[in-house]
Chain A
Amino acid sequence: MSVIVDENTRVIVQGITGHQGSFHTGEMLKFGTKVVAGVAPGKGGQKFMDRVPIVNSVQDSLQYEPNATMIAVPAPYVRDAAMEAIDAGLRVIYILTEHVPFHDTMEIVHQAKLRGGATVLGPNGPGITAVGKCKIGIMPNQIFRKGNVAVASRSGTLTYEIVDAITRSGMGESTVIGLGGDPVVGLTFIDVLEMFNRDPETEKIVLVGEIGGGSNEERAAEYIKKNVKKQVVAYIAGGGAHLRERGWATPGPS
């Protein structure tokens, strides 16, 4: 068992023919992810890398029995893409795209909850990886090694930095989750702490936040004190150089 995704995850890529979508679909296939179809309106009938069928809509992809999607379409189209995935009943919706208007994200998260309870991750995140089983997103394949450390992060490249450090130190990872760096995202630290706490493959937990996280990080700290017996290490980036005093912080949930 891992968290949110595993070897039974069957992924479609919405925006598979785009610059990001095509490069990273190739990397996901190399990682061993079951990418069962790609969605690109108007390009149905083609194949990606001679193996992944491309269809015109999420509905059309249901013949390949997907249960998850990676959304890599430009920001103005993310809301429609996510609604299509919710309508089709997919269980995991990972939004890579950055600069999604936050009212759109609020609507996506709300509708997912109302209509079947799909798990939404992102926007503006690097993906989710269950090491050895499934990778959705853009994290570099070579940084991972199977192990018992779970990582949840609001950052992109800083997640790679920390996973790489864990791997270089001789340890390895169970599930690595990019929560997304936007003011509104699908899951909070507390949501994933509950999952990591239950996950038999996870013995240690690393949380990576950024300044401007609002009360999200504080609530997580209280939750850990009360409920988490596993070892937790947390880092909030941006405290050192007095960036906040200069009026600069990544906007976060509050």
Chain B
Amino acid sequence: MAADSKVVVDSDAVYRHKELSVTDPEKTPPLELEAQSKGGYAFVELDGGDIGVIANGAGLTMATLDALTLHKGGKPRNFLDLGGTDNVDIVVNAFDLVLKAKPKAILVNIFGGGVTKCDTVANGIVAAKQKYGIKQPIVVRLSGVHEDEGREILRKNGIDSYPTMMEAIERVVKLAGGA
């Protein structure tokens, strides 16, 4: 006799079992559902924060939140991992999600590598700023593949950018009115 049973579905194997849906729309916050439907960003809203965060790679995004919280006293509004980005629209849509969480300032932390190029991300930031008429300050850190090209694109469009994560974090915390 079986008294209880549990099933864990591997979301990466769902293509073999299309009848098994993994997301429970009733238990998932609306912005996180939207993030999934818009191409699978990993997005988490965080309570009480005021700095919107966009970074690439889960590890780097977590490290960004750690550095904001532990070292500079910043309060992140969200976690958003772009994944690998070689597409301007992916960056633009990420801004759409973060803006809906109403941050006071936005930090973008990108280390170019893999398929991610800094100039593509920079073009995405400029396009998002125009498309959504973003009023909040945007602070960008760009390092790695095509970083010089990326920083030049941002400079021409009046957006601050820094070569290291800690410089960018210091700046965004200040702009958001923190320590």
Contact = CB atoms under 8 A, between A and B. Distances in A.
Interface residues of B, number: 33
Nearest to B60: A157
Contacts of A164: 111, 143-144
B44, B59, B62, B145, most chain A CB atoms within 10 A: B59
A241 B57 contact: no
A240 B70 contact: yes
Contact of A237 (B46, B63, B111): B63
Contacts of B65: 238, 240-241, 243
A155 B59 contact: yes
Contacts of B44: 243, 246, 248
Contacts of B10: 101-103
Nearest to B110: A157
Contacts of A235: 63
Interface stretch (B11-19, B98-106, B129-137): B11-19
B79 A241 contact: yes
Contact of B66 (A20, A103, A143, A237): A237
A116 interface: no
Contacts of A246: 44, 46
Given A20-B115, A157-B114, A240-B66, 16 more contacts: A19-B115, A100-B12, A139-B113, A140-B144, A156-B60, A158-B60, A159-B59, A160-B111, A160-B143, A208-B59, A240-B62, A240-B67, A240-B69, A241-B66, A243-B44, A243-B79
